[in-house]
């Protein structure tokens, strides 16, 4: 009997922010209370993982 490979189901990783989807980028920026440009800058510095982006903004929150 053949087994089914369930490692790939056709969906992306839900923890990664889809930067090609303007609506997702806008919604995530609104959730954090920052601009979309701030989010794209944070992605360049912290990575594309949602939790890394949130942690990036939290660390900057008390830095000034």
What are residue 16's DSSP bridge partners?
49
pLDDT tens, 10-57? 666 678 888 888 999 999 999 999 999 999 999 999 999 999 999 999
Of residues 63 and 64, more confidently modeled: 63
- Strand segments, DSSP code E, in 1-64 are none
Query: What is the structure's pLDDT at 17?
Result: 86
Exposure string for 4-43, b = 16+ CB within 10 A, e = fewer: eeeeeeeeeeeeebeeeeeeebeebbeebebeeebbeebb
Q: Say if pTM beats, i.e. exceeds, 0.75.
A: no
Residues with Cβ within 8 Å of residue 39, at least 6 apart in sequence = 17, 25, 28, 29, 32, 53
Query: What is the structure's pLDDT at 5?
Result: 63
């Amino acid at each position: 009997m053949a087994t089914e490979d369930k490692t790939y189901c056709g969906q992306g990783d839900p923890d990664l922010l889809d930067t090609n989807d303007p609506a997702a980028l806008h919604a995530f920026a609104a959730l954090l209370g920052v601009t979309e440009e701030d989010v794209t800058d944070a992605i360049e510095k912290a990575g594309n993982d949602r939790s890394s982006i949130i942690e990036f903004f939290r660390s900057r929150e008390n830095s000034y």
